[in-house]
Amino acid sequence: MKDCLFCMISSKKINTDIVFEDKKILAFRDISPQAPVHILLIPKMHISTLNDLTPKNIEIAGHLIYNATKLAKMEDIAKNGYRTVFNCNEWGGQTIYHLHLHLLGNRKFKWPPG
Ligand code: 5GP
Ligand code: ZN
């Protein structure tokens, strides 16, 4: 989608620190990390928010989550634990309207979140 930052990242129009890629998804390091490990996993196809998942595209959510667990192992944060987050819309803290899964780790997180 034109003017979508993460579409530009997935089409390599913007240089990014990519850690994993396959046909359907891309994972890259967050530009403003909130933890020592902070990776974003995105579908290559434009989906704006979690609310836009449908029976037709729902498998992408499992693919993002499964690959987050693989990256957690690769980054050596799986054993201690980590956090995965989909922020949805304004009150959920979403600022980029292209679906993304945050993978955060290498520090202890508080609950409930702020
Ligand atoms: P949200 O607040 O929408 O859940 O998360 C958006 C995330 O994208 C934020 O953590 C922010 O730091 C990250 N971000 C924004 N712009 C860029 C960018 O140009 N490159 C990278 N790698 N991350 C970005
Ligand atoms: Zn997009």
Pocket test for ligand 1, best of 3, 32, 91 (most atoms within 8 A of CB): 32
What is the pLDDT confidence band of residue 35, given thresholds at 50, 70 and 90?
very high
Cα 113 to ligand 1 centre (Å): 18
Contact 83, 101 (CB under 8 A): no
- Say what the pTM is: 0.98
Closest CA to ligand 1's atom 21: 31
Closest CA to ligand 1's atom 24: 31
pLDDT at residue 37, as a whole number: 98
Instruction: Give long-range contacts, CB 8 A cutoff, 24+ apart: 77-83.
Output: 77/37, 77/105, 77/106, 80/105, 80/106, 81/105, 82/37, 82/106, 83/35, 83/109
* Mean pLDDT value of segment 3-23: 97
Query: pLDDT tens digits, residue range 45-93?
Result: 999 999 999 999 999 999 999 999 999 999 999 999 999 999 999 999 9
